[in-house]
Amino acid sequence: MGNPVEGIGTVGVVGAGQMGNGIAHVFAVAGYDVVMSDLEQDRVDAALAAIEGNLQRQVNRDLLGAEDSVAALGRIRGTTDMADFGDCDLVIEAAAEIEDLKKTIFRKLVEVVPERAILASNTSSISITRLATVTDRPERFMGIHFMNPVPVMKLVELIRGIATDEATFDTMRAVVASLGKEAASAEDFPAFIVNRVLVPMINEAVYTLYEGVGTVQSIDTAMKLGTNHPMGPLELADFIGLDTCLAIMNVLHDGLADTKYRPCPLLVKYVEAGWLGRKTGRGFYDYRGDAPVPTR
């Protein structure tokens, strides 16, 4: 188990999806008490079950002791009531990549969290400075962007808004270290570092498919074997979620006003069809059978 940072004992996580439950998982393993919320109890229950399964996987791979796994699960409390964040020292929002939704969450949070609490967003692309403006503590507001899957990936991007103070940044850097992860500091520009580079590459791969340069299979095979990527860009897009990829491209296009960030019409079409990747069973691959099958 890790050593929690002094002054950060209880951590709140808003959103119990793939990112939210992963964040809750790593904080609990590191010794923090965690309150994880979502709008519906069934989502909270599903997240707790996912965390239990992921902890067991770590035990099976000798990455975590069985007793430590039980202790970590015992530190996580699920809720549908935001008032349960009333004793948190840090609250991380991990909702969908929709700016108005995130702002609504932060407006509600400032009504219930203590004055001492740091507020943070796991946004992968949206301005930290803008999100901070709806709170009563822009100096104690930051971006803390975890990579997916959270328990496995070592990197965390730390993003300061224009008003974030040094003490908040230092605390959050110590928090990341306490999780056994590596922090990379990014400036508050659209999509920060990882997604500023990664998602346009995915978008270009979709253009390559759209223009008939290659098939789904040939594009992914070429990038895996030709550049040594563990996943092809279209397979990776399905893993991230095509709706999230499109949202990030729109943030880049709107925020930087450069045509090189124009979302590929084919990406838009897949999202309109509800083919969002693994989470819906279809994206650039169809996942409904025994093995993924390219959809184009």
Are 98 and 123 contacting, i.e. CB atoms less than 8 angstroms apart?
no
Active site includes 145? yes
Options 54, 69, 121, 145, the catalytic residue: 145
Phi, psi dihedral angles at 143 (to 5 degrees): -95, 135
Active site includes 54? no
Active site includes 195? yes
Q: Residue 19 CA to chain centroid, in angstroms? A: 4
Active site includes 148? no
State the DSSP H helix or E strand holding residue 40, giving kind and residue range, or none if neither: none
- 17 φ/ψ sector (left φ>0, alpha ψ -120 to 50, else beta): beta
Q: How many CB atoms lie within 10 A of CB 53?
A: 9
Pairing assessment for the beta strands 10-14 and 33-37 based on DSSP bridges: parallel
Q: Which residues contact 108 (CB under 8 A, 6 or more apart)?
A: 82
Amino acid (1-letter code) at residue 102: K
Q: Among 89, 90, 76, which Cα is nearest to 37's? A: 76
Pairing assessment for the beta strands 141-146 and 155-160 based on DSSP bridges: antiparallel
Are 216 and 285 contacting, i.e. CB atoms less than 8 angstroms apart?
yes
Options 21, 54, 122, 195, the catalytic residue: 195
Using DSSP's 3-state secondary structure scheme, residue 279 falls into helix
Q: How many CB atoms lie within 10 A of CB 227?
A: 10
Options 121, 122, 127, 157, the catalytic residue: 157
Are 65 and 71 contacting, i.e. CB atoms less than 8 angstroms apart?
no
Options 124, 125, 127, 178, the catalytic residue: 124
Pairing assessment for the beta strands 285-286 and 293-294 based on DSSP bridges: antiparallel
Amino acid (1-letter code) at residue 2: G
Mind telling me the catalytic residues?
124, 145, 157, 195
